[in-house]
Structure 1
Amino acid sequence: MEEIGASGGYAVKLREYNYQCGSYQVSGISCCHVMVAISYYYGRAAVKDQVTEFVHNSLTKSAYMQTYVGMILPVPDQKRWQEVLVCIIIPGYTELMNPPPHSVQPGRPKK
């Protein structure tokens, strides 16, 4: 199926979620070219019902609600943080955690 606009034509393959303008591949939201193709294929009255089929699953209301299902506990203040002396992120690596070495960059220092 092809939609032809003022700036030229765009190929729209609805069932493959492949749109030549690239909008869906970038954002997951159907562009105006897809809306025209849906209205042509399904009929103008069915656009409202069919448009949700062409939106990425991560952008649906149910996916949004799933984001906040679990409880998010607040982070305690810095006085209650446990002191970490060794690197525990990499197993078997027990070097003390220090900031990276400071090196003076060439050129005039900024004020």
Structure 2
Amino acid sequence: MLTIISAGEMEYEVLGPDGSYAVKLRQYSCSCGSWQGMIHPIPQQKMWPEMEMEKLLPPHFQTQPGRPKLQRKREPDEKAKGGRSETVVCTSCQKPGHNKRTCKCPNFSPRRTRSQTSLNHQLQPPLLSNQPRLNLDLS
């Protein structure tokens, strides 16, 4: 709610919830600053005066450092992108909801790691062409 108090001829004090302001109607001024720098309406573009100046160019675009964004910025009224469209299927047991690495099926045997395969090669001596092969099963 605003309260207006006369402070002389064509001068008023306006009291409001966010403070008090001095208004001088003859000078078109207010201490709040709402009348200062007022822009007057302009006519249609075809009524503008012709100016003999160079065309104004946009500023030079310089890419910012860092990794570029993968997705564009969406408008405020635009819906967000949807989530995943397919569920994950395990290649071992063919069941949805997990992958081969996290599979808990009993018939699944995980692949050997590099350390296990290199250990097998270290236990067998190098073969010569005239020696018979010896197959050892270490599992």
TM over 0.5: no
Higher-helix-fraction structure: 1
Choose between structure 1 and 2 for higher RCO, CA contacts under 8 A separated by at least 6 residues.
Answer: 1
Task: Return the index of the structure with the highest Cα Rg.
Answer: 2
- Under a length normalisation based on structure 1, what TM-score does the superposition of the two structures give? 0.28
